[in-house]
Amino acid sequence: MTVMRNYKIAWRNLWRNKRRTLITVASVFFAIFFALIMRSLQLGAYDHMFRNAIESYTGYIQIQHEDFWDNKIVDNTFAYTPELDQIVMSIQNVTGTVPRFESFALASSGTLTKGVLVMGVDPEKESLLSDIRSKLVKYTLDDKNIKALRDSELPQEIKKNLEIFRGNSYSSSSSLAIDFNITDKDSSSILTIFRKYASFRNSYIKSGEPEVLIGDKLALYLKAAIGDTIVLLGQGYHGTTAAGKYRINGIVKLPTPDLDNKIVYLPYDICQELYNAPGMLTSVAISIKDNDDEIVNSMVSEVGSKVEPPLKVMGWRAMNKLMINQIDADSKSGMIMIIILYLVIAFGIFGTVLMMTAERKREFGVLVAIGMQKSKLAAVITLEMIFMGILGIASGIIAALPVIFYGYSHPIRFHGEMAKMYEDYGYEAVMPFLLPDMYIVWQAVTVAIIVMVAIIYPLRKINKMKVVNSIKA
C-alpha cells in the first residue's frame, strides 16, 4: 500500500512543475534519439558493406582446393562430383550449391585493354547467391538520354538533378526513385518517362553460349556496348594459353565498385573451355537459409568434416579478412564518437538533475520538517527520476524509429568527392540505416544506467540535508 502511495505521489509531483519535468525528460529524449540514430547509421553502413561483398562475390561458405585462396591459379582447381554435391545438399540449412570457375585475364575491346576478373557461373544457379540477373542495367543517364529527358515532361525538380547523376546507371526503378527522390504518388508517371527515354536494352547469358556479362564501370572504361566483341587472353590449365572472343550480351551494375570495375561473367562451361579445364571448378559456393554467424561457423566445421583433402571449406570471415580489419578499425573510431556522445548525454542529464535538486531544496526541507522521513522522500525522488527516464527513453525510441525506417528505405547517397573517396576504398557510396535490432535495447540500457547514476546526486543531498538550512534556501 505504501509503495503504491509513493508511486502516486511521484507521478503527481512530475506535473506540479511541468516545465522542470519536460526539461528533464527532453534531456533523456535527445540522448536516446541521437544515440539510436548514430548507432543505426554506423551499423547499417557496416551491414551494407558486408552484404555487398558477400552476396556479390564470395558467399557465406565456399568449398575450394586447399591452395586456391592463397594462389588463385587455374591449376588449383578440383572436380566437383555428383557424390560430393549430394553430401553437401544433405546438410541442414543448405538450399543449393553454386559452381564457380574464377580466374584472371586481359580483356580487350578495340584498342583498349584491362586486367579483369573472369567469373564462370551457372546462369540459373547463380540466382541463389549473387542473383546477377537482377543487377542487369535497366536505365542509363548518358548525354543522349539526359538531353531527351530535359526535353520531356519531367518536373523541373527532377530535371535539375539530371546533371548531378550524369553517367549513372541503375539496375532497378527503386534505386532510380531514391536518387531522384521520386515519391510513390508520382512514381508511375515519372518512371514511365524514364522508361521511354533512358531505358537500356539488356540480355542475360545462357549455358553453352559464348556470351558474357560485364560490369558497368568496366564497360565505360572499354567503351564497350551490347553486341560488341570482347577478347579474353590469359593462362589456362597446366600452362596452356587461354584465348577467346565473346559477344557482350549484357551489362551489370554491381554494388561493389571495385568488382563492378573488373568483372566479366561467362557460363562456367564456356569458362572451362576457355581455360582448357573441362569438368573442373575453382570453388563451389554454398547457398544457405540462415546466415547467423554461429550457424555459419558450425556449418563450416560440419562441411569441412565431410570433405577430404585437397578440398577445404572457408567461411565468409576468412574470405573477407581485409574488409573486416578495415571495418574494425573504423568501428573503433566510431565507438570513440559514441563514447563522446554518451559523455555529452551524461553531463546534460546530470545538469538537469542538478538544476532540479537546487530548485527543490526548500521543498525537500519543508517535507522533512512536517514529518516526512528522508527514506520515503528519497524513494519518491527515485521514482520521479525513473518515471522521467522511462518517458524520455520511450519517447526517444518512438521518435527515432520513423527516422530509422526512412533511412533504411531511403539511404544516404554521397556524390562528388565523397563518393569518389568511398569508391577508392572499394565501397558503394551509400549509408543506409540498420533496421531495429538489439542495438536499440543496448542504447536504452546505457541511457537508463546514466539516469540511474544521476539519481545518486539528489539522494546524497537528501541524506545529508540540514532541515533548517534547506527551509531558509
User: Is-above-0.75 flag for pTM?
Assistant: no
Domain identity same for 18 and 73: no
- Res 426: pLDDT: 55
Nearest to 122 by CA among 55, 56, 204, 206: 206
- Res 308: pLDDT: 83
Ramachandran region of residue 223, left (φ > 0), alpha (ψ -120 to 50) or beta?
A: left
Which residue, chain included where needed, has cell 538450399?
95
Residue 312: pLDDT above 60? yes
Domain identity same for 105 and 166: yes
d(CA 141, CA 122): 30
* pLDDT tens figures, 317-363: 888 887 777 777 777 777 787 788 788 778 877 887 787 777 777 87
Range of the domain at 301: 60-308
Rounded average pLDDT over 46-60: 77
Cis omega (within 30 of 0) for bond into 310: yes
Q: Is residue 313 part of a domain?
A: no
Q: Is residue 352 part of a domain?
A: yes
* pLDDT tens figures, 169-215: 888 888 888 778 787 777 888 888 898 888 888 899 999 899 999 99
Q: Is residue 317 part of a domain?
A: no
Domain identity same for 271 and 366: no
Rounded average pLDDT over 249-269: 89
Q: How many domains does the chain have?
A: 2
Do 100 and 282 meet the contact criterion of CB atoms below 8 Å apart?
Answer: yes
Domain identity same for 124 and 9: no
Domain identity same for 183 and 212: yes
Instruction: State which of 285, 308, 331 marks the end of a domain.
Output: 308
Q: Is residue 376 part of a domain?
A: yes
Q: Is residue 397 part of a domain?
A: yes
* pLDDT tens figures, 283-301: 998 888 887 878 888 888 8
Instruction: State which of 308, 338, 359 marks the end of a domain.
Output: 308
Domain identity same for 78 and 105: yes
Distance linking the first and last C-alpha atoms of the chain: 33
Domain identity same for 256 and 365: no
